[in-house]
Every structure is written in C-alpha cells, then in structure tokens.
Amino acid sequence: MGMTMTQKILAAHAGLDHVSAGQLIEADLDLVLGNDVTAPVAIHEMDKMNTKTVFDKDKIALVPDHFTPNKDIKSAEHCKCVRNFAKENDITNYFEIGEMGIEHALLPEKGLVVAGDVVIGADSHTCTYGALGAFSTGVGSTDMAAGMATGKAWFKVPSAIKFVLTGKPSKWVSGKDIILHIIGMIGVDGALYKSMEFVGDGIANLTMDDRFSMANMAIEAGAKNGIFPVDEQTIAYMKEHSTKTFATYEADADAEYEEVYTIDLSTLKSTVAFPHLPENTKTIDEVGEVVIDQVVIGSCTNGRIEDLRIAAKVLEGRKVAKGMRLIVFPATQAVYLQAMEEGLLATFIKAGGVVSTPTCGPCLGGHMGILAAGERAVATTNRNFVGRMGHVDSEVYLASPAVAAASAVTGKISGPEELGL
C-alpha cells in the first residue's frame, strides 16, 4: 500500500522507507515553536532535564504574541522568562515587540518553514504550515521541551482524509468559507487525529493566504494536520520568503484514505459558524437577523495582507454602524506596514474602526477586545467556544473578512452583497 503526502514526510524524517497509519515513529524536527503562554512551561520542564541547552539554536522559534504587548504583571513575567531563555541559549529566531507578529503568520513570512519540513509547536494552530506542504502539528509544552532538547519527537502516523477541491470560488468566498463549510460538513471531530489532505484542480484558484487559513483550522475538525500539495504558487512564496532548501512529496496513487470528499468550490457561499462550535455553520442566506456589538478582523487565521485588502474593499467609503466596535489586528509588523503603505489602515480608521499592533489578544479572550455578558462578536478568528472571547454568556460568530467587514457596517451579520457589492 502506498503512502499519503503526510506519511512520506514523516517516513523521511524517521529514516524509514515506509510508514503506515497507526505506526509509532521517532522523527527529526526542522523547527520547534513556542509562545509566551506555552514556552515558559516548556522551559521549566527543560530545567528538570539533564540536557540544559537546546539541540540547535537555529531551529527554535520563540514568539511572544498571546498577551503582548504585556497586559499585566503576570504576562510580563512570562515574556521575561522566554526572553531570558532566548538570550541564554542564543536563540536565533526570537521575535518580540517591534519585529514580532502572530506566530503562525510570522514563521512562514520569515521563511522559517518550507515544504517537506516537520514542525511542532506548543500551540494547536501550528498546523497552519501545511499550506506550504510541510507536516506541522500542535503539541503540549512537555513535548516542546523534549523537542527543544533533543530535536526529535514521537508521532503516531495518522491516517488520512482526502478533500478533492474543484472549480473556482465566487467573488466573496475565501479559504475561510471553504474550511468552515468543511468543518460544518464533517464536524469538530470528523478528522480526529487524521491528516486532512487537500488536492484537486480547484487549489490553483486558492491564494496562499486562502491555504494558510484552511490549514490553520484543520485542528478545528480534530485533525492532526492539514496539508496542501506544492505547486507553482507555493514555490513562488517560498522563494520570496526563504533561502531554506525544500523537499516536495506527492501522495502515491494507491495511498489509502479513510474517506474522500469532492467539493465544487463554485457552489459554496459565504459561511458563518454560530456559537459555540466551528461546526455550527450556516450560509450567509441562512443566518437571519443577528445583531452584533463587535467585529474583530485579524488573527493567525485571517490577519494577512489579502484579508485586510478584502476588508478594506468592503469598508471603503463606508462607516461602521453606530455603537459598533471594529478592531483590526494585522498579523505581523510587515503586514501592518504594507497595509499602512497601501492606505488600508486609513480606510479602517475613516470607517470608525481601530487598528492594533499584532497580537493574539481578543481571539483567546486575552485582552484588547474582551466581550461582556450578552455581547456578540463577529470574528475572523478560529474558535467560538463558550467564553472564548470573554464572558461565558457572550457569543462569537466566525466568518471571513468580507462578512466581518460588511457586518461592521450594517450592525448585524451580513454579506457584502447587502451593501451592493
């Protein structure tokens, strides 16, 4: 039996000719990632080990992004712990205020991940890098500690689900809508510990930002990872951002998949996930009258330049609804600067929104956009669990940048079509 794309990458990093689903392997790591929430725990675990230094100072990435700029004394202490560790170990890829960004947007932008890599991160959305044809997955802080110390990690080789994407999405349908549609179709445990492998001629109609958004939310279907084949777009992105050598892998013709879904992208509509699970989806024509209090545009899912361009296109020449709070978070400093140079930030501000420095902030209910009891938010983030963005009696609706921007104008969940766009 042949191997899937993910299985081939894992086999190569385990020094094996062949692996199969369910097999336990030890694989070499190309990158280990931590942030200001998870890295301090990993650092304290490393203190208990005989090995006191990292396996390779160039293959560790530390990005304080969740509660930064520091929201309180505790978060400041966490960041200090990470900062000191980075200095003591001469960590090359340490990114803080001024050069930082939201980790899963920053690492590809910095060229730290390329096709064929094996990456672990002590953050569940580490699966984002599958957009580049890498195997990347979230782990616990203890596994991060072991990875930093040894450069290796144990994996159970995942089985796979194939998603054959055909056709071209309509004007306002993005990668966010596609992945929400898929999660709504298979459920939040529909791909539990499986690899979600996206193939088909429809992929050519998806930008890299679309693919990052989709791979990012593979975990919301319970997946071990999400992964895209390497095509001309992928190679162009890697050549622009990285000098690392990359390796491409293709699934064998006889690779085994537990399920195969075919999705015609041209039939999809803008999709919204209602509280309190990403699987609770409705198309934009099914949402009804849902009045909202806040809109958040940004995060590791939808804070890239294309996301901001789409939101700005919807908001251009318009004002947010009276009493509406619109908060925009560019995902990295580079995105922030580019958005400023293109005039996108001016569009957001003129519309009545505010623009924040890159941070995970409101996505996890951390800071800079917390919801009170009874409040509702439309967010381009990736989770809408109970209390995710604040009070347990608040509600989060997940949507694309286009829907989020239109909703900010109307004061209720709306598609751009309601604005005549």
How would CATH label the architecture of 5-263? Answer: 2-Layer Sandwich (3.30)
Specify the pairing of strand 225-227 against strand 194-199. parallel
Nearest alpha carbon to residue 318 among 351, 296, 346: 351
Q: Where in the chain is the domain with CATH 3.30.499.10?
A: 5-263, 271-416
d(CA 110, CA 115): 14
**Contact status, residue 65 vs residue 103, Cβ threshold 8 Å:** yes
Q: In sequence order, which residues have a C-beta less than 8 Å from that of residue 240 and are 6 or more positions away?
A: none
d(CA 348, CA 152): 44
10 Å Cβ neighbour count for 250?
14
Specify the pairing of strand 259-264 against strand 159-166. parallel
Superfamily of segment(s) 271-416: Aconitase, domain 3 (3.30.499.10)
Structure token digits, residue 342 = 């293109």
Each residue's pLDDT, cut to its tens digit, for the chain (421 residues) gives 899 999 999 999 999 999 999 999 999 999 999 999 999 999 999 888 888 799 999 999 999 989 989 999 999 999 999 999 999 999 999 998 888 899 999 999 999 999 999 999 999 999 999 999 999 999 999 999 999 999 999 999 999 999 999 999 999 999 999 999 999 999 999 999 999 999 999 999 999 999 999 999 999 999 999 999 999 999 999 999 999 999 999 999 999 999 999 999 999 999 999 999 999 999 999 999 999 999 999 999 999 999 999 999 999 999 999 999 999 999 999 999 999 999 999 999 999 999 999 998 888 888 999 999 999 999 999 999 999 989 999 999 999 999 999 999 999 999 999 999 8
Q: What is the DSSP letter of 218?
A: G
The angle formed by the CA atoms of residues 131, 331 and 147, to the nearest 5 degrees, is 60
Nearest alpha carbon to residue 296 among 364, 344, 212, 219: 364
Nearest alpha carbon to residue 192 among 258, 129, 134: 258
10 Å Cβ neighbour count for 68?
24
How many residues in total does the chain contain?
A: 421
pLDDT at 307: 97
Nearest alpha carbon to residue 161 among 127, 200, 196, 198: 196
